[in-house]
Amino acid sequence: MASAARPRANPAFYALIALLIFMSIGPVLLLLVNSLKLDVDITSGAGGLLFMPTIRNYETALCDILWYEPEHLRFCQIRFGGAFVNSIIIALVSTALTLVMGCMAAYALVRFRFMGRDSLSLSTLAVRMIPPAVLLVPVFGLWNNAFCLDNDYGLGAWWRDTFGGRGDVCLAGTHGGIILIYVAMNLPFVIWILQSFIVQVPRSLEEAARVDGAGPFQTFFIVVLPLIKPGLAAASIFTFRIAWNEYLLASALADRDTMTVPILIVNNASEFDGLGTIFATGMLLAIPPILFTLFASRQIITGMTAGAVKG
Amino acid sequence: MPSIQLQRLVKRYGGLEVLHGIDLDMAENEFTVLVGPSGCGKSTTLRMLAGLESVSDGDIVVDGRSIAHLDPKDRDIAMVFQDYALYPHMNVARNMSFSLRLKKRPRDEIDRKVRATAEMLGLTPYLDRKPGELSGGQRQRVAMGRALCRDAGIFLFDEPLSNLDAKLRGQMRAELAMMRQSVRKNMVYVTHDQIEAMTLADRIVVMNGGHIQQQGTPSELFRRPVNRFVAGFLGSPPMNFLEAELVDDGGLHARGAGFSLRLPEDIVTRARKLGGGRATLGIRPSDLEYAPEAAPDRALDLRVIVSEYIGAQSVLICDCGGTRVTVEIKSETPIALGETLRFAARPEGLHLFDPETERAI
Ligand SMILES: Nc1ncnc2c1ncn2[C@@H]1O[C@H](COP(=O)(O)OP(=O)(O)O)[C@@H](O)[C@H]1O
Ligand SMILES: [Mg+2]
């Protein structure tokens, strides 16, 4: 019935949609196709789709973490694989931590009454106004000097004995060091976004849960959290992308072993020989955020709270 | 099934006191209805009983044990909220079993309870639906079901029917009264609707401005209101009030603009103690009766302004020396608008109130 009442769509409308889809998918498709070609096929410009697909470029890109040695390589030059894994670890862990802390902090700011609540709520936003570059020098200094374990005794000594290395064990150069600063950087925005979702959860729902026998944590995790899933999804897309793309702070804090992909690309740009490898790394770089966004956006179902109250 | 006592219960929000010492005894298995105009503190009282609001002063005692400082979850109380407060991400069955699941009851017991409750409320076909896929009336039932599913000792209802349309409300009211027959539990029910209060209550508690005005059985309050507020609040259409002078004219009369009514003996003895003076006369519309032949000191002469036909009964809005008076009569009574007619007042339907204190005389 409903479809009959809808006016016939204009063919030009469909043409426009097709054009937009082509414009957004086209480059990714081109990237994918070229990443599966040999360099000769790419440069020959024979245009086309007529070629033998090969995963050789991906083997080159990930040579440092492959369990076998690709035949076409004499020597594994770029350590893209390691950086790729670092990026995934750092992006996932910092996103998870940000969400866990963010949703609890937002809940407290919205629902609890305590001294300084309003100024705290405001200052979370104020932190957003500071560009990350301002943080660079102090964070670099602190991470390298203040947050260190003396390597002569205790945990520091154990660390040195186990993992080796010279000098004190510092936060700089560890995954934790980068994750910490990403969490700090993204938390204000996540808190701010989640606050607006939590405000919309009717208070009587929480009261009903409390009367039904739920403690404060059960109320939060069983009743409130499922209802702000769209907010969590939006926030996680945001934090994941920032962590995935961030260059400035990571370049200052990462060392050889904890380098993320953006740092690796900038530092080793000259070592990327061959267009095919570049296309393959580009493809690899694009896949995690795409997968993550697709997964997270599935959680965004509008009208989550529909039917909670009278209506 | 416990007995509940509210002892000098006080609620303050900052410096603002909204409940001024509520004293209330509810016997075992009693259906208590708190009724009063909006903002009089009914919900606050109920929420303090549930543990959702802190107690500023006084105490709540259940079976001899103070529960004023317990968490809601430790009070063994089920509550139906005015806006239903259903968990939107859970289907009907999970909504109803929420509390039992939290208590980690065995699955088959939970299943059995949910099915029995759903059966009673006619919700069986909807057990798999989410609240968003239900109509207002069905959501209302789910909210009831969620409370009934638990074995709580005390049930609290905060205006559970106020969001339904008139027809559904009447239907649910009857169902509630029926459910009441099978579920013998302590129930405390808040409403601003005096019809709900009268039909459901074992005990009515009329509140106004953070005070209890009067409590008792519905018929006690209807027949013997202690003050003008209670008299005017209960009953529909509401009681008529006429300003009068008490004069001794061969028997005590209440005399006002356009009428002079002889007062019956029991009121006279009480009114004598006051020694004449002014009084407010109260007569319910149903205590006036079309009687052209009645003696003038037993009746009011009223000019009919509007007649509202509501079926078997009609409500006449009349004028009595400048005061509006409503009368309820059988519709077949021949009435013409604009005429002045005589209506006899039932002697047992006369109420007198002190115009200053508004207390019943
Ligand atoms: N959180 C609050 N802060 C201040 N005043 C409140 C609060 N909640 C209720 N009140 C006041 O308490 C009074 C009683 O409210 P309530 O119990 O909700 O009335 P009702 O009888 O309509 O249910 C009202 O005058 C209301 O303004
Ligand atoms: Mg209320």
A-B C-beta contacts closer than 8 Å: 89
**What's the token pair of residue A21?**
């889809």
In a domain, B16, yes or no: yes
Residues of chain A in contact with residue B150, where contact means CB-CB under 8 angstroms, are: 212
Residues of chain A with CATH 1.10.3720.10: 80-297
Q: Which two tokens stand for residue B292?
A: 């052209």
Kindly state if the Cβ of B186 falls inside 6 Å of ligand 1.
Answer: no
**Closest among B251, B222, B244, B209 to B20, alpha carbons compared:** B209
Q: Which residue has the tokens 């919205």?
A: A110
Same structural domain, B13 and B153: yes
Which pLDDT value is given to residue A96? Answer: 96
Q: Which of B226, B238, B154 is nearest to B188 (CA)?
A: B154
Kindly state whether residues B165 and B148 are assigned to the same domain: yes
Taking the centre of ligand 1 as the mean of its atom positions, its distance from the CA of residue A204, in whole angstroms, is: 15
Residues of B in contact with A308 (CB under 8 A): 84-88, 131
Residue B252 belongs to a domain with what CATH number?
A: 2.40.50.100
The owner of tokens 């005894």 is B25
Could you tell me if B200 and B32 are in contact, meaning their C-beta atoms sit under 8 angstroms apart? no
Query: Does B361 map to a domain?
Result: no
User: In the numeric block, which tokens belong to residue B205?
Assistant: 């508690």
Distance CA B337, CA B306 (A): 7
pLDDT at A311 over 80: no
What CA–CA distance (Å, rounded) separates A140 from A119?
Answer: 28
Q: Which two tokens stand for residue B303?
A: 């000019």
Q: Which numbered atom of ligand 1 lies nearest the CA of B190? A: 23
* Gap between the Cα atoms of B287 and B346, Å rounded: 5
Ligand 1 contact, B38 CB (< 6 A)? yes
The half-sphere exposure of B268 on its side-chain side, counting CA atoms within 13 A, is 13
B194 Cβ contact list (under 8 Å, min separation 6): B35, B233, B234, B235, B236
B166 and B248: one domain? no
Average pLDDT over residues A33-57: 78
Quick check: CB of B87 below 6 Å from ligand 1?
A: no
Based on the fold, state whether residues B102 and B218 are members of the same structural domain. yes
Q: Tell me the two tokens of residue A293.
A: 């966004």
Least confident of A124-138, A179-193, B231-245: A124-138
CB burial of residue A21 (10 Å; 0-12, 13-18, 19+): exposed
Q: Closest partner residue to B85 among A207, A218, A303, by Cβ?
A: A207
With a CB cutoff of 8 Å and minimum separation 6, the contacts of B67 are B51, B60, B61, B74, B75
Q: What average pLDDT does the segment A133-144 reach?
A: 85
Best to test chain A binding among B53, B102, B135 (most A CBs inside 10 Å)? B102
- The residue of A203, A212, A302 whose CB has the most chain B CBs within 10 angstroms, and thus the best one to mutate to test that interface, is A212
A308 touches chain B (CB under 8 A): yes
State in Å: Cα B196 to ligand 2 middle.
Answer: 15
Q: How many CA atoms lie within 13 A of B347 on its CB side?
A: 12
Q: How far is the CA of A16 from the centre of ligand 2 (A)?
A: 54
Residue with tokens 């009223």: B302
CB under 8 Å to B315, separation ≥6 — which residues? Answer: B237, B285, B307, B308, B326, B327, B328
CB < 8 Å to B77, chain A? 211
Whether residues A202 and B52 touch (CB distance < 8 A) is answered with no
| Contact across the interface for A307 and B99, Cβ inside 8 Å | no
Q: How far is the CA of B156 from the centre of ligand 2 (A)?
A: 12
Is the domain of B54 the same as that of B90? yes
pLDDT of residue A1: 42
- B44 CA closest ligand 1 atom index: 17
Predicted confidence at residue A308, as pLDDT, reads: 60
| Residues B79, A309: C-beta atoms closer than 8 Å | no
Contacts 24+ apart (CB under 8 A), B220-227: B222/B198, B224/B360, B225/B351, B225/B360, B226/B359, B226/B360, B227/B353, B227/B357, B227/B358, B227/B359, B227/B360
* Lookup: tokens for B143: 């909210």
| pLDDT of residue A3 exceeding 60 | no
* Co-location of B148 and B245 in the same domain: no
Residue nearest to atom 6 of ligand 1 (CA): B13
What are the chain A neighbours of B133 within 8 Å (beta carbons)? 307
Pocket test for ligand 1, best of B6, B16, B18 (most atoms within 8 A of CB): B18
d(CA B125, CA A167): 71
Tell me how far the alpha carbon of residue B201 lies from the centroid of ligand 2, in angstroms: 18
* CB of A244 closer than 8 Å to CB of A289: yes
One-letter identity of residue B334 = P
Residue whose Cα lies nearest atom 20 of ligand 1: it is: B39
Structural domain boundaries, residue B111: 4-232
Nearest-CA residue for ligand 1 atom 11 is B18
Within a domain: B111: yes
Note the maximum CA span of chain A: 79
Calculate helix-pair angle for A275-297, A11-35, nearest 10 degrees. 130
Return the residue of B nearest to A207 by Cα. B52
Calculate the alpha carbon distances from A127 to A87, A95, A135, B216, B287 in Å: 25, 18, 11, 61, 72
Q: Is residue B179 part of a domain?
A: yes
Distance from CA of A211 to the nearest CA of B (A): 5
Distance B37 CA to ligand 2 centre (A): 9
Domain covering A80-297: architecture: Orthogonal Bundle (1.10)
Q: What is the crossing angle of helices B136-149 and B92-102, to 10°?
A: 20
In angstroms, the separation between the Cα of residue B84 and the nearest Cα of chain A is: 5
pLDDT, residue A297, reads 84
Per the structure, the count of domains in chain B is 2
Calpha distance B92→B88 (Å, rounded): 9
pLDDT attached to residue A268 = 81
**pLDDT at position B62, please?**
92
Q: How far is the CA of B59 from the centre of ligand 2 (A)?
A: 21
Closest among A104, A223, A209 to B71, alpha carbons compared: A209
Answer positive or negative: Cα dihedral of A22, A24, A27, A28. Answer: negative
Last residue of a domain, one of B232, B256, B282: B232
Could you report the per-residue pLDDT of A23-40, keeping only the tens digit for each?
998 888 888 888 888 877
What CA–CA distances, in Å, run from A228 to A302, B89, B234? 11, 11, 45
* B144 and B40 in a common domain: yes
Residues (pLDDT < 50) of chain B are none
Question: Under a CB-based contact definition with an 8 Å cutoff, are residues A213 and B99 in contact?
Answer: yes
B41 lines ligand 1 (CB under 6 A): yes
* Packed helices B136-149 and B166-182: angle between N→C axes, nearest 10 degrees: 20
User: DSSP assignment of B39-101, as one string?
Assistant: TSSHHHHHHHHHTSS--SEEEEEETTEE-TTS-GGGS-EEEE-TT----TTS-HHHHHHHHHH
Query: Which H/E stretch holds residue A175?
Result: helix A175-199
Q: Cα angle at B294 between B290 and B295, to 5 degrees? A: 145
A216 contacts chain B (CB < 8 A) = no
Same domain, B337 and B216: no
Q: Which residue of B has its CA nearest to A311?
A: B136
- Index of the ligand 1 atom closest to the CA of residue B34: 21
Burial class for A34, CB neighbours closer than 10 Å (0-12, 13-18, 19+): buried
**From B83, B89, B99, residue closest to A212, measured CB to CB:** B99
Count of CA atoms in the C-beta half-sphere (13 A) of B246? 25
Per DSSP, the three-state class of B8 is strand
Complex ipTM, two decimals? Answer: 0.85
Q: For residue A191, how many other CB atoms are within 10 A of its CB? A: 27
**Stronger pLDDT, A49 or A282, i.e. the higher one:** A282
Q: Is residue B26 part of a domain?
A: yes
| Closest listed residue to residue B2, CA positions, set B145, B104, B151, B110 | B151
> Cβ of B103 and A218 within 8 Å?
no
pLDDT given for residue A245 in this prediction: 92
Which residue from B20, B44, B212 has its CB within 8 A of the most atoms of ligand 1, so it is best to mutate?
A: B44
Overall average pLDDT of the A284-291 stretch: 91
Could you tell me if B134 and B142 are in contact, meaning their C-beta atoms sit under 8 angstroms apart?
A: yes
The β-bridge partners of B278 are B245
pLDDT for residue A75: 77
CATH label of the domain that carries residue B65: 3.40.50.300
Nearest CA to ligand 1 atom 2: B13
Beta strands in chain B (DSSP E): 4-13, 16-26, 31-35, 57-62, 65-66, 77-80, 154-158, 186-191, 203-208, 211-216, 240-248, 252-256, 259-262, 277-283, 288-290, 299-309, 313-320, 323-330, 340-345, 350-353
pLDDT tens digits, one per residue of A96-130: 999 999 999 999 999 988 888 888 888 888 887 88
Q: By the CB < 8 Å criterion, does A228 face chain B?
A: no
Q: How far apart are CA A281 and CA A268, in angstroms?
A: 13
CB distance B132–A306 less than 8 Å? yes
* pTM (whole model) above 0.95: no
The residue out of B232, B264, B287 marking a domain boundary is B232
Is B359 a domain residue? no
Find out whether B94 and B142 touch, Cβ atoms under 8 Å.
no
Asked if pLDDT for residue A167 goes beyond 70, the answer is no
Biggest CA–CA distance in chain B, Å, is 79
Which of B232, B257, B288 is at the close of a domain?
B232
Rg of chain A over CA atoms, in angstroms? 25
Query: Which residue type, as a one-letter code, is found at position B59?
Result: D
B191 lines ligand 1 (CB under 6 A): no
Measured distance CA(B229)–CA(B225) in Å, rounded? 8
Burial of B64 (0-12, 13-18, 19+ CB in 10 A): exposed
| pLDDT for position A274 | 79
Number of helical (H) and strand (E) elements in chain A, helices listed first = 16, 2
